[in-house]
Amino acid sequence: MTEKPVITIGTRGSRLALIQTHMVADALRAAHPSLAEEGAIAIEIITTSGDKIQDRSLLEAGGKGLFIKEIEEALFAGKIDMAVHSMKDVPAFLPDEGEMACILPREDAHDAFLSVNYASLEDLPEGATLGTAGVRRKAFALAKRPDLKVVLFRGNVETRLQKLRDGVADATFLAVAGLNRLGLTDEITAVMSADDMLPAAGQGAVGVEIRKGDTRCRDLLALINCHVTALCVAAERGFIAALDGSCKTPIAAHAVYDDAEEKLTLEGALATENGEMLWHGAVTKPAQKGDETAAAAIGNKLGRDIRAEVPQNILDQLMGRVA
């Protein structure tokens, strides 16, 4: 057993966050025998603002970046060496002090529809109650079903499932990836197709952030980085960067990579929060694994194309520049 950890990894304390952090730790141990020794990797649980705030939406509180704020602060202060994030929680622009050094192979990126009594979004009765905390899910659901009543659904996966059983709402959405990782796949009523609910940028992907220039950690993580997932997530994040990197706007982006053809296909969408207006685009371009900069540029171009279609007054409202 080592006297002090070689690597300290920071994470949120939810069961899903810990599962994802242990995925990173196990991959590092498998790739580097020196890290397999007992005590070589330590895990530091950090409570974030997003965990503490449960009485209002993240939109009101400051955005999804609240799920990583305190973890990044610990990283930049040198208290931890690596920070594990769900990529869908990471704003489009990282702080200057950080870099995303690794992304694990992606789980299913789609959203799951969950309901005790109804088989699908279409099956919900007129005026049914939908529980969600996300502006994207709210907007895209209302685009399909403007009659639904949307109520705030905060908390970890298990908390939301209990709220559903307690009848707080008739239905909710959760990420398929999280349910799979938690062993709760049987809770899924239906998997939403990308046509009905385009996923959030980065959904299903786990990223590891380090201090910029930390070559030791970057080299350790290089062996467990999934180049295909990193390429796709870079394109998705490039898309949201062109529209709004704060996680406060109803934006969706999903990329897939054809290894044989060496082509990347990206879909992106932007909506008003009430779902009344929606802009969508898709593009397929040549892309090389390892060239995340080029992938991000593909996403950024699609984002700018969609941005150009949105009337300026609506764009101002979506970006929060108008009260």
Beta bridge partners of 42: 8
Give yes or no for a contact between 210 and 218, defined as CB atoms under 8 angstroms apart.
yes
CA–CA dist 25, 22 (Å, integer): 5
Q: Is the dihedral of CA 302, 308, 314, 318 positive or negative?
A: positive
Pair of tokens at residue 58: 């993240």
Radius of gyration of the chain (CA): 20
Pair of tokens at residue 64: 């999804």
Q: In what order do the strands lie in the sheet with 111-114?
A: 149-151, 129-131, 171-175, 111-114, 190-191
| Parallel, antiparallel or unpaired: strands 82-86 and 7-11 | parallel
User: Active-site residue numbers?
Assistant: 89
3 state SS of 29: helix
Give yes or no for a contact between 165 and 182, defined as CB atoms under 8 angstroms apart.
no
